[in-house]
Amino acid sequence: MGFNDNLSKRKDGSYILKSKDKKIKENGQCLECGENGSTRDLLYQYNAEDMISVRNYIEDHLTMHPKHKSMKAVWCDTCKTLNKYLVQLI
């Protein structure tokens, strides 16, 4: 019998959050950022199409928002996936 929640049961009977369980993190998830490429469509720094997509998004965003001075994509150092964008205001 399984439940759809964020708990994982330990051998001693106690419960822990799945995000803190090392066994869960090793199954396809990056240990640094927590992203899982097998369950989500991610953008990768080493993929040319993804880089073009990111650059086009930054260009469109800066064009649409004139009060934003610059925008930077932040990548995970381990798995090279896109984590977030940092925007600098004027």
Nearest of 83, 25, 27 to residue 54 by alpha carbon: 83
The domain spans of the chain are 7-89
Nearest of 64, 26, 83 to residue 72 by alpha carbon: 83
- List, in order, residues 6 or more apart from 79 with CB less than 8 Å away: 30, 32, 33, 35, 37, 44
Bridge partners for 81 per DSSP: 44
Quote the CA–CA distance of 67 and 64 in Å, as a whole number.
Answer: 9
> pLDDT by residue (tens digit) across 44-66?
999 999 999 999 999 999 999 99
Would you give per-residue pLDDT tens digits along the chain (90 residues)?
456 777 777 777 677 776 666 654 556 777 778 888 777 889 999 999 999 999 999 999 999 999 999 999 999 888 889 999 999 998
DSSP at 81: B
Residue 1: predicted pLDDT: 47
DSSP at 43: -
| This prediction's pTM | 0.67
